[in-house]
Amino acid sequence: MASIIPVIFILVIVLGLMACGYLFVPKGLHQTTIRTAIMLTLASCYLMWMVTYMAQLHPLISES
């Protein structure tokens, strides 16, 4: 059944991954770059997935 739970579930997972990315990237020349890249990628991919998912949750029209 289509519900909003997966959205929140995946959100929690993504936030967890972002935290991991922040904490576990080794200190070094590229730490900022790698951290930023990982976090931004996770955030933007999640956003796009969330929008796509929610747009189809309770569709107002059906195909013909």
Partner 1 sequence: MGDDYPTLFRSEQMSLMQFLIPTEVAHDTVAELGELGNVQFKDLNPAVNPFQRSFVGEIRRTEEMARRVRFFESQIQKDKDVVPIRPLYDSAPLVTVGPSAAHNIDGLDVTLAGHETRLGQMNDSYKTLSERTRELVEARHVLRETAVFFEKAETQQTDIRTSFDDSSAPLLQHDDREQQYLSSVQFDLEFVAGTIDRTRISTFERVLWRVLRGNLYMNHTDITEPFVDPATGTETRKNVFIIFAHGDALLAKIRKVAESMGATLYPIDANADKRSDSLREVTARLEDLETVLYNTGLNRRSELLRIGENLARWQDVVRKEKAIYETMNLFNYDVRRKTLVAEGWVPTRDFAMIHMALRHATEESGTSVVPILQELHTSKTPPTFTRTNKFSEGFQTIMDAYGIATYQEVNPGLFAIVTFPFLFAVMFGDIGHGLIIFFAALYMIIQEKKWARQELNEIVGQFFYGRYIILLMGMFSVFTGLMYNDIFSKSLHIWHSGWDFPEPASNGVSYAVSNGHMYPFGVDPAWHGADNGLVFTNSYKMKMSIVLGVIHMTFALCLQLPNHIKFKRPLDIYANFIPQMIFLQSIFGYLVVCILYKWSIDWSTRDTQPPSLLNMLIAMILSPGNVDATAQLYRGQGFIQVVLLLLAVVCVPWMLCMKPYFQWKEMQMIQGQGYVGLGHRNGGPRESTDEVLENEEEGNGRAIVEEMEEEHEQHDFSEVVIHQIIHTIEFCLGCISHTASYLRLWALSLAHAQLSEVLWSMTIEKFLGLSGIFGTIALVMVVVFWFSATVFILCLMEGLSAFLHALRLHWVEANSKHYQGEGYLFMPLSFAKLDEKE
Q: Which positions lie near partner 1, rule CB under 8 A?
A: 1-2, 4, 6, 27-33, 36-37, 40-41, 44-45, 47-49, 51-64
Token readout for 58 is 């309770």
Token readout for 64 is 């013909």
In the complex with partner 1, the residue whose CB is nearer, 16 or 30, is 30
Kindly report the backbone phi and psi dihedral angles of residue 23, in degrees, each rounded to the nearest multiple of 5, phi listed first. Answer: -85, -35
- Least distance (Å) from partner 1 to the CB of residue 16? 19
- Least distance (Å) from partner 1 to the CB of residue 12? 16
